Structure 1
Amino acid sequence: MAADPIVPDTKDWTWAAHRRCDECGFDASQVSPSALAAGLRGLTAPWREVLTRADVTVRPQPATWSPLEYACHVHEVLDVFTGRFSLILDEDSPALPNWDQDRAAIEGEYAGQDPERIAREIPERTEGLIAVLGGYAGESEWERAAIRSDGAAFTGLSLARYLTHDLAHHLSDVGAGDQIPPPGSSRG
């Protein structure tokens, strides 16, 4: 029996780069470039444990992603954002390509992926992203502008904060909110 379709998230989450999220408690506005590498590692490390759960493929509600599906989303988000950060470094004020996360989940068959492979690849993708972020040398690089396909404006830093919130929020979504490191901490 096929899973129910996921209810698309149509919220505009861009505000989460600038203030505390009441849902997950993470305040991405406190993330500094110097704490970003450790923060990303800390926000992706808990997936290894999440992906060993006996109920990793079980949806809490028929139209809500399972922990495995959330992990696959994080897995792909890391690649999407690696590309976005590279584009910002390579071009002046680039337009960031559209990415439909709901379509990606269907086309990527998230529900049928191997949890062990996803657990192994999340840290690899995190390190790839951190390597690209290493190219942001100095404040001027972090202030480079980009526009998302829906017209939302970002700088390198606000996009990094947006990403860290997304990663924290999804840990909260799967009940691992107690493993979210504080913004700006070196835990990770």
Structure 2
Amino acid sequence: MTDQKPADAIVPDTKDWTWVLERRCPECDFEAGAVAGAAIPALVRGFAARWAEVLVRPDVARRPAPAVWSPLEYACHVRDMSRVFGARAELMLAQDEPTFESWDQDAAAIEARYGEQDPATVAA
């Protein structure tokens, strides 16, 4: 394990993340394409409970490797992705042909200093 690096040390990700709809994630083992829509609410509640457990660990801000986010950084990312997709869902309900601004996860991580956030606040 390595100590937390400054947030600006995050290496930008250039992957096309649409592949997650077709394949299992090698990092977290989640298979989004296999999830039925009706199962999503229960999954979200279950994941929220698991994040609450992770965010109280004393090493939550420690990166397992310099280029791999810490659990705290991943939790911040999940929180912010939930907000982004929630706003997009609201636009889809309100507009016939909504357009979505590009969201740069790495810029968000740097600007919000994911690795320095308070785990209790992130868990709330």
The letter of the residue matching 1:20 is: R
Contact 1:57 1:69 in 2 (8 A): yes
Q: 1:56 to 1:22 in 2, by over 3 A?
A: closer
User: What does residue range 74-85 of structure 1 map to in structure 2 within 5 Å?
Assistant: 74-85=78-89
SS at match of 2:9: coil
The letter of the residue matching 2:118 is: D
Runs of 4+ in structure 1 over 6 Å off = none
2:30 is the alignment partner of 1:20? no
Shift of 1:54: 1.2
TM-score normalized by structure 2?
0.84
Query: Could you say which residue in structure 2 is the equivalent of 1:35?
Result: 39
Q: Percent identity?
A: 52
Out of 31, 56, 61, the position equivalent to 2:60 is 56
Contact 2:25 2:31 in 1 (8 A): no
Contact 1:51 1:116 in 2 (8 A): yes
- Greater share of strand: 1
TM-score normalized by structure 1?
0.58
* Structure 1 residues not aligned, in runs of 5+: 121-188
Shift of 1:22: 5.4
CA distance in 2, matches of 1:22, 1:81: 19
Contact 1:73 1:101 in 2 (8 A): yes
2:15 is the alignment partner of 1:45? no
Shift of 1:113: 0.8
Q: 1:111 to 1:13 in 2, by over 3 A?
A: same
* Structure 2 residues not aligned, in runs of 5+: none
CA distance in 1, matches of 2:25, 2:94: 35
Residues matched between the structures, number: 119
The letter of the residue matching 2:24 is: C
CA distance in 2, matches of 1:30, 1:47: 21
CA RMSD of aligned residues (A): 1.9
CA distance in 1, matches of 2:68, 2:41: 30
